[in-house]
Amino acid sequence: MAAVEPLERQHWRGALELRFAAAAHGTVVAHKRHEGPFCIQRPFRPGDGVCHVYLLHPPGGLAAGDELTLDAAVETDAAALLTTPAATKFYRSDDAPSVQRQKLRVAAGAALEWLPQESILFGGSRVLVETDIELAAGARFIGWEQLSLGRPLSGDRYATGTLEQHTRIDCDGEPLLHESLRISAGDRLLAADCGLKSLGVCGALYAFPANDPLLVCVRERLGAATPSLRAGATLLGELLVVRCLAAEPEALRNLFEALWCELRPGVVGRTPSAPRIWRT
């Protein structure tokens, strides 16, 4: 009897388009289109006019060759908050990389809060992440990126793997921040003082528009943070950038949530109203 050939794994592509618009009772999802296993839950409105949307990816993670693409636009006078119900997982890949792309556009007079839970890079994963944020003058934005290398509690020390990450933030076509991060497991950068200093969790938080008083406020909060965290903040024009290293994802998450509470009134013009999914 002839040997049975193994079935080739089907690469999954998930794509989601969202457009938010202002309405009489607050912001609504005016357009949505999805392809594959990427969709949204019914929006929530906490009463301040902001539309809270949870991005759902039922497979729970990306394997070799999988691609996840988000294109979200917030129109004038609309306000949206996007988050995820759980961490995004990038699984081991022996061939093609796992790819995540997101394009976020915010019109003048609009506000977007991009607050996904962390991305976990399993040992052996090959990951490409691209984030493009296009702001109009007069737009408001708070967003963050959080990465965990490996799963130490499960014995995964990220002994192998690669990451390529590109983040671009523009305002009216002018660059505010363009940066790239390329790492491979075993790189000296991961242990160096000028790199990750053997801390397996890293992240960046962005806020626009920001000013010197907000920078001072953030630096005071960072000064009172747990000594195990290494963090700093800087102001690039009107873009506030906070970078942090931590040993545990929860420590970074707690810090960023606290900073979001501090920044939201001054940047978005609303008091904090945390997504309910964060506490479930």
pLDDT given at position 94: 83
3 pLDDT higher than 70: no
pLDDT digits (tens, 9 = 90+) for 110-140: 999 999 999 999 999 999 999 999 999 999 9
CA gap 267, 214 in Å, rounded: 9
- How many other CB atoms are found less than 10 A from the CB of residue 177? 17
More confidently predicted of 97 and 8 = 97
The structure tokens 């917030």 sit at 74
Where do the structural domains in the chain lie, given as residue ranges? 13-279
273 pLDDT higher than 60: yes
- How many other CB atoms are found less than 10 A from the CB of residue 75? 19
- 15's CB contacts (< 8 A; 6+ apart) are 34, 35, 36, 38, 68, 69, 70, 71
Compute the half-sphere exposure of residue 52: CA atoms within 13 Å on the CB side of its CA: 17
- How many other CB atoms are found less than 10 A from the CB of residue 160? 15
| pLDDT band, very low/low/confident/very high, at 6 (cuts 50, 70, 90) | very low
Q: Average of pLDDT values for 75-87?
A: 97
pLDDT given at position 8: 52
DSSP of 85-134, one letter per residue?
SS-EEE---SSSPEEEEEEEEE-TT-EEEE-PPPEEE-TT-EEEEEEEEE
Nearest 10 degrees: Cα torsion 69, 277, 253, 39: 0
164 pLDDT higher than 90: yes
Query: Measuring CA to CA, which residue among 203, 175, 204, 200 is closest to residue 190?
Result: 200
CA gap 179, 145 in Å, rounded: 13
CB 158 within 8 A of CB 116: no
The pTM assigned to this predicted structure is 0.94
Q: Is 153 strand, coil or helix?
A: helix
Compute the half-sphere exposure of residue 67: CA atoms within 13 Å on the CB side of its CA: 8
pLDDT digits (tens, 9 = 90+) for 201-235: 999 999 999 999 999 999 999 999 888 899 999 99
